[in-house]
Amino acid sequence: MDKPEYLLKDGIRLDGRKLDELRPLTIEVGILKRADGSAYVTLGKNKIMAAVYGPREVHPRHLQKLDSAIVRCRYNMAPFSVRERKRPGPDRRSVEISKVIREALEPALFLEEFPRTSIDTFIEVLESDAGTRCMGITAASVALADAGVPMRDLVSGISVGKIDGNIALDLNGLEDNYGEADMPVAIMSKKDEITLLQMDGHLTDEEFKEGLKMALSVCKDIYQEQRNALKRKYAPKVGD
Ligand code: ADP
């Protein structure tokens, strides 16, 4: 990706969006038959699959916790998910992202109700264009609900950033590469509880507040989309 002359002109981004505009989002529930729960999420060019298994017996057993379930999470980018082939298998980035996704999801789960078990969450990025950890969280949380895992709330994620000096919602790959900052956020909407907050780059206090406000507001829209997706599977309209 060559550096473009600018990322923003007259308030419009290179992909035609306004600063506070989300890329087109779709969420589908229950597309994998073998998994206990699954979801497929697209956000612009991102295509992400999540699968959940469990709560199920932990193997190896020495990992069992006597008083709660454990959550295992694997975020993986397919070799064909990026322009240059990505070397298959875990790397530093995917290990870090798996950890932060697990930590973003755990507060939503009643782990103490399922001692000695594991809840295994797999996130496969089939095509990526920035923002995949947030959409991984969004997809995984719907897949957990689809698996029937009791939850305090769904977790919804989105990234905000800074391009050409302006706070912008949901950076795409080009903007992520050449922008000044990227800040992934995930929340449990009901009580505005933040479960993921990272930052790459620099924002002033004011910019941080503006970005966080934007992310929290859009997470509520994403939350509605997650609920709608679950309703389409579990409460179809009469006549559907
Ligand atoms: P996120 O996808 O959560 O925004 P990053 O900020 O680390 O995570 O990555 C931004 C984007 O950079 C990814 O969505 C992906 O499109 C691209 N990217 C990440 N790792 C690689 C890689 N190893 N090879 C090519 N592109 C990559």
- Say if residues 72 and 121 touch (Cβ distance below 8 Å): yes
Cα(130) to centroid of ligand 1, in Å? 6
Is the pTM above the cut of 0.95? yes
Please tell me if the CB atom of residue 23 comes closer than 6 angstroms to any atom of ligand 1.
no
- The per-residue DSSP string of 73-90 comes to EEEEE-TTSSSSPPPSS-
In the chain, % of residues over pLDDT 90: 96
Residue 240 has pLDDT above 60, yes or no: no
Please tell me if the CB atom of residue 131 comes closer than 6 angstroms to any atom of ligand 1.
yes
Please tell me if the CB atom of residue 176 comes closer than 6 angstroms to any atom of ligand 1.
yes
Cα(76) to centroid of ligand 1, in Å? 11
pLDDT digits (tens, 9 = 90+) for 10-21: 999 999 999 999
Distance of CA 105 to the CA centre of its chain: 10
Bridge partners of residue 38, in order along the sequence: 51
pLDDT digits (tens, 9 = 90+) for 27-48: 999 999 999 999 999 999 999 9
Burial of 46 (0-12, 13-18, 19+ CB in 10 A): buried
Average pLDDT over residues 185-204: 96
> How many residues are there in the chain?
240
Please tell me if the CB atom of residue 13 comes closer than 6 angstroms to any atom of ligand 1.
no
Residue 3 has pLDDT above 60, yes or no: yes
Provide the mean pLDDT of the chain: 96
Nearest alpha carbon to residue 19 among 135, 164, 134:
164
* Phi, psi torsion values for 158, nearest 5 degrees: -160, 155
Nearest alpha carbon to residue 139 among 117, 131, 177:
131
Residue 237, pLDDT score: 66
Cα(133) to centroid of ligand 1, in Å? 9
Both tokens of 32, joined, read: 């994998």
Average pLDDT over residues 161-177: 98
Bond into 60 cis (ω within 30):
yes
- Distance (Å, rounded) from C-alpha 22 to C-alpha 16? 11
